[in-house]
A and B are shown apart, each in its own frame.
Chain A
Amino acid sequence: MLQYVTLEIDGADIVVPRGLSVLDAAIEHGICIPHLCHVRYLSDIGSCRLCIVEHVVNGRSKITTSCTLRVQEDMVIQSNTERIRKLRRNLAELLVAHAPNSRAIQDIAVRCGVKEVRYPFRNENCVLCGRCVRVCSECAGANAIGFVGRGKNRRVDSPFGSLSEFCVECHTCIELCPMSIQPCIGYMEPGEERLCGACESQLDLADELPGHCVWCELGENFQCGRY
């Protein structure tokens, strides 16, 4: 039998099954917490850090990722404070400066309020969210790709750099990759990258109802849990 817990997210009391993550609980109840590496049916590793929230314990708030935090009875979560918004904006800025040629990442940056990018653009092809690696091992059961290297040399690769014999070419990794859709303004050549910011997707609504899911089209591009 399912057990339920009651917790408070952004002032709203919600009831969700035990064992759920705070992020899933929020999305289920229409509260928008931006996220990138989280995919509903995969394990969470907390690598993109976009879904950070303030977890208030005994009056002290602790910042943690909501995807890795399990719901508990009487938990108090704040997902949209000034502090969180600023941190999230800075993280999104790092991501979009690193890999601007992705509609998903451009959209996340817009959604997180990035107005300008203060770092030189890099035009990389991967943000190491690990969606592909996890879907390959957890859904396809193939383990045909994995993380290789450490720190700035970390990359996703097949074993020893050659196509794994376990790869069944299911293409799920490509489907989940946030880099697979170009920004609306088209592919930007190295040197001409910019913050797209051209998106008109219900952002006005999002501004009026901060922190609430407005079924924005942005969400579709990073496979938000609502879609």
Chain B
Amino acid sequence: MSRDFTIKIKTVSELEAFRKRILNDLKKARVVLTLCGGTGCQASRSEAVSTAVKDELIKQGMDENVHVRVTGCHGFCEQGPLCVIEPGNTLYCNVLPDDAREIVTKTVRDGEVVERLLYTDPVSGKTIQTESEIPFYRAQDRQLLAQNRQVDPCSIEDYIAIGGYSALAKTLFEMAPKAVIREIEASCLRGRGGGGFPTGLKWAKCREAPSDEKYVICNADEGDPGAYMDRCVLEGNPHLVLEGMMIGAWAIGAREGIIYVRNEYPLAVKHTRIAVQQARDLGLLGEDILGSSWSFDVEISRGGGAFVCGESTALMASLEGKVGEPRPKDVHTVVDGLWHKPTTLNNVETWANVPSIILNGSARFASKGSNGSKGTKIFALTGHIKSTGLVEVAMGTPISKVLFDIGGGPANGIPIKAVQTGGPSGGCLPADKFYLPLDFDALAEAGSMMGSGGMVVMDEGTCMVDVAKYFLTFLQDESCGKCVPCRLGIDRMLEIITDITEGRGKSQQISLLEELGHTISQTALCGLGKTAANPVLSTLRYFRDEYEAHISKEECPAGVCEALITYEIDPEKCTYCGVCKLACPYEAIMGAKEEVHTIDLQLCQKCGICRSECKFEAVQIN
């Protein structure tokens, strides 16, 4: 499709005419070949795949009536690069550039299915042809993610074709700002960034704040280890976020918006820039939008990679050119925010939920979810689980459904021990809490939090004290260091936990850890500090026996903490093959041929290489 750059959409009817024209254009394509081009799939060479497919189509002379669409992330990242071919909705997984020829020849030209590229269900061992039959997709409720597959993020036409910007048109001409806020309030939408603050209330307060200048900000400074929901939405469907921001800006009376996106998301930065430029070109951003005499524009600001800049006040400080440090929020940012003006800051996913609430009504949105938490939420499922990727489910879905029905259960057959929700400052929930619904209040009550939606699955081979130590190390690195409880408190917690994992722990340190954790969570300045103790407090709550084993028995039940374990070769299982001896980088393994091997504990550095190399499971941890 070629774009007429001179066209400006000045009225709603022009928008509808434009939409009709795009839909007609799209009908011309006989086959639509959708390739995932998200960051995850790009790492698996999806760009080379799309080039190969396009070359092959030209070679076979089919580039005229086959539409190749490179989209954002589909969510099933574990199987990427993904390729979906319509009609037929055939899904191919793990596609390589070399497969392009076969796909074009067989599926596109002849309409046949390439059996070897289909998804194989790990449980039944059967191949599955379409997305909707795959358990990973079937059990989800993909309100936001499903759009990613229909839209080329670099094409505003694609977004308009699926009904894009009609929510904006409805807002501008059929709803007063107060009606928009009432609709958002009625939907019970709560902030997807972590805090879960009611979005409608935030907007209403910001609207009431007296000022001639107001701002809307989209927080795309996602930095939790293992979580990438916001990246996926922003790089896969940037216009959706833009439209949400425009509706919010209209509601609170802002004329300027800022998207704060971290620079480590180059694709998201690129796609957002393109989207903003396209919207400006078409006249959907700028002066007198759709003839409503309302003006609004968006700027993109790139974050330098500090985790704490995801905190609203630190983000605003960063935007003002100051050091990215939080400030006390005794006066909320909806009154005194960016440049001391009223500012509404929402997370990417929150903004992305807005257009459909306006277009389809709050009742439809609120029909999904649990009592206190409505709508759907995207989770990044990672760790020791079969199917990793992005999962969108209605709020209130039990954790077990996400882990077992969608995720397919543990990856290596070792039972799942815990799941960490809410990113580094969330908590670890044990297996007997997997019945809990995924909603803001239930998770907070259980000592964890929704956070932005990270879900790290850990199996029995994980030491929970070590996990707490990992997250504390992350938080210590990322704390800004401004306030005493966060800077010194996390440091001391890490000191104590390191003592425990290295066999120097004392039993009174457990209660000290708890007391210190509660002190930090009550006195720290910002949200990062207030939740920083969660990994420790939640593991202490549910896995206290592991802490006690480290201290009193000086052993690590999971066999992870190096200082507390020794490696040993079982003489009955050892076949004297010598593989471990060759693999050991420290030459700590002794034993001639045809002789049981032994490990010299003084030389052993506990790297575990011998254990992973041994095919007979003769190397054991004590």
Answer whether A and B are interacting partners.
yes
Listed in ascending order, the chain A residues whose CB lies under 8 Å from chain B are 45-50, 52, 63-65, 68-70, 86-87, 90-91, 94-95, 97-98, 118-120, 127-128, 147, 149-154
Residue B364 at the chain A interface, CB threshold 8 Å: no
Q: Which residues of A contact B308 (CB under 8 A)?
A: 150
Contact mask B528-572 → A, CB, 8 Å, 1/0? Answer: 000000000000000000000000000000000000000000000
Residue B480 at the chain A interface, CB threshold 8 Å: yes
Q: Which residues of B contact A70 (CB under 8 A)?
A: 330-331
Residue B17 at the chain A interface, CB threshold 8 Å: no
With A63-B523, A118-B512, A128-B487 known to touch, is A151 a contact of B330 (CB < 8 Å)?
A: no
Number of interface residues of B (CB under 8 A): 31
With A118-B512, A150-B306 known to touch, is A52 a contact of B523 (CB < 8 Å)?
A: yes
- Verify B483–A47 contact, CB threshold 8 A: yes
- Verify B484–A95 contact, CB threshold 8 A: yes
- Verify A48–B484 contact, CB threshold 8 A: yes
Within 8 A of A (CB), among B483-525: 483-485, 487-489, 491-492, 495, 512, 515-516, 519, 522-525
Within 8 A of A (CB), among B422-462: none
- Verify A151–B523 contact, CB threshold 8 A: no
Q: Which residues of A contact B331 (CB under 8 A)?
A: 70
Q: Which residues of B contact A50 (CB under 8 A)?
A: 484
Residue B585 at the chain A interface, CB threshold 8 Å: no
- In angstroms, how far is the closest chain B Cβ from the Cβ of A138? 15
Query: When A and B form their complex, which 10 residue pairs have the shortest distance between CB atoms, in order from nearest?
Result: A154-B481, A68-B328, A90-B519, A94-B488, A151-B479, A151-B481, A46-B328, A49-B523, A69-B330, A47-B483
When chains A and B are docked, how far (Å) is the Cα of A152 from the Cα of B487?
6
With A87-B523, A152-B491 known to touch, is A94 a contact of B328 (CB < 8 Å)?
A: no
8 Å CB contact of B484 from A47, A118, A147 = A47
By beta carbon, the residue of chain B nearest A124 is B488
- Verify A151–B519 contact, CB threshold 8 A: no
Count of chain A to chain B residue pairs whose CB atoms are closer than 8 Å in the complex = 86
8 Å CB contact of A65 from B306, B328, B477 = B328
8 Å CB contact of A128 from B306, B476, B477, B481 = B481
Residue B323 at the chain A interface, CB threshold 8 Å: yes
Q: Would you mind naming 5 contact pairs between A and B with Cβ atoms under 8 Å apart?
A: A47-B482, A48-B483, A64-B328, A69-B330, A154-B482
Q: Which residues of B contact A94 (CB under 8 A)?
A: 484-485, 488-489, 492
8 Å CB contact of B525 from A47, A97, A119, A120 = A47
Q: Which residues of B contact A119 (CB under 8 A)?
A: 492, 495
When chains A and B are docked, how far (Å) is the Cα of A149 from the Cα of B522?
25
Within 8 A of A (CB), among B453-479: 476-479
Residue B327 at the chain A interface, CB threshold 8 Å: yes
- Verify A152–B481 contact, CB threshold 8 A: yes
- Verify A46–B483 contact, CB threshold 8 A: yes
When chains A and B are docked, how far (Å) is the Cα of A52 from the Cα of B523?
7
Contact mask B321-332 → A, CB, 8 Å, 1/0? Answer: 001000110110
By beta carbon, the residue of chain B nearest A64 is B330
- In angstroms, how far is the closest chain A Cβ from the Cβ of B431? 33
When chains A and B are docked, how far (Å) is the Cα of A70 from the Cα of B323?
24
Q: Which residues of A contact B476 (CB under 8 A)?
A: 151-152
- Verify A68–B330 contact, CB threshold 8 A: yes
By beta carbon, the residue of chain B nearest A127 is B484
With A46-B525, A152-B476 known to touch, is A147 a contact of B487 (CB < 8 Å)?
A: no
By beta carbon, the residue of chain A nearest B331 is A70
- Verify B485–A49 contact, CB threshold 8 A: yes
8 Å CB contact of A151 from B478, B515, B516 = B478
By beta carbon, the residue of chain B nearest A130 is B482
- In angstroms, how far is the closest chain B Cβ from the Cβ of A67? 9
- In angstroms, how far is the closest chain A Cβ from the Cβ of B327? 7
When chains A and B are docked, how far (Å) is the Cα of A206 from the Cα of B33?
78
8 Å CB contact of A153 from B323, B327, B481, B512 = B481
When chains A and B are docked, how far (Å) is the Cα of A91 from the Cα of B495?
16
- In angstroms, how far is the closest chain B Cβ from the Cβ of A5? 15
- In angstroms, how far is the closest chain B Cβ from the Cβ of A76? 15
Given A46-B525, A150-B479, A154-B487, 11 more contacts at CB 8 Å?
A49-B484, A65-B328, A70-B331, A86-B519, A87-B522, A147-B323, A150-B481, A151-B478, A151-B479, A151-B481, A152-B479
When chains A and B are docked, how far (Å) is the Cα of A52 from the Cα of B482?
16
- Verify B481–A87 contact, CB threshold 8 A: no
- In angstroms, how far is the closest chain B Cβ from the Cβ of A129? 9
When chains A and B are docked, how far (Å) is the Cα of A118 from the Cα of B495?
12
Q: Which residues of B contact A49 (CB under 8 A)?
A: 483-485, 523-525
When chains A and B are docked, how far (Å) is the Cα of A87 from the Cα of B485?
10
Q: Which residues of B contact A153 (CB under 8 A)?
A: 481
- Verify A91–B523 contact, CB threshold 8 A: yes
- In angstroms, how far is the closest chain B Cβ from the Cβ of A85? 12
Q: Which residues of B contact A149 (CB under 8 A)?
A: 481
When chains A and B are docked, how far (Å) is the Cα of A47 from the Cα of B484?
6
By beta carbon, the residue of chain A nearest B480 is A150
Q: Counting chain A CB atoms within 10 Å of each CB, which of B308, B522, B524 scores highest?
A: B522
When chains A and B are docked, how far (Å) is the Cα of A68 from the Cα of B512?
29
When chains A and B are docked, how far (Å) is the Cα of A177 from the Cα of B602?
49
Q: Counting chain A CB atoms within 10 Å of each CB, which of B327, B328, B524 scores highest?
A: B328
When chains A and B are docked, how far (Å) is the Cα of A78 from the Cα of B524?
18
Q: Which residues of A contact B489 (CB under 8 A)?
A: 94
Q: Which residues of B contact A95 (CB under 8 A)?
A: 484, 488
When chains A and B are docked, how far (Å) is the Cα of A50 from the Cα of B519?
12
By beta carbon, the residue of chain A nearest B530 is A63
Within 8 A of A (CB), among B336-374: none
When chains A and B are docked, how far (Å) is the Cα of A63 from the Cα of B525?
10
By beta carbon, the residue of chain A nearest B508 is A118
When chains A and B are docked, how far (Å) is the Cα of A147 from the Cα of B328?
18
Q: Which residues of A contact B519 (CB under 8 A)?
A: 86-87, 90-91
- In angstroms, how far is the closest chain B Cβ from the Cβ of A123? 14
By beta carbon, the residue of chain A nearest B491 is A152
With A52-B523, A64-B330, A119-B495 known to touch, is A91 a contact of B323 (CB < 8 Å)?
A: no
When chains A and B are docked, how far (Å) is the Cα of A44 from the Cα of B116?
66
When chains A and B are docked, how far (Å) is the Cα of A128 from the Cα of B486?
13
Q: Which residues of A contact B485 (CB under 8 A)?
A: 49, 91, 94
- In angstroms, how far is the closest chain A Cβ from the Cβ of B565? 26
When chains A and B are docked, how far (Å) is the Cα of A175 from the Cα of B488?
24
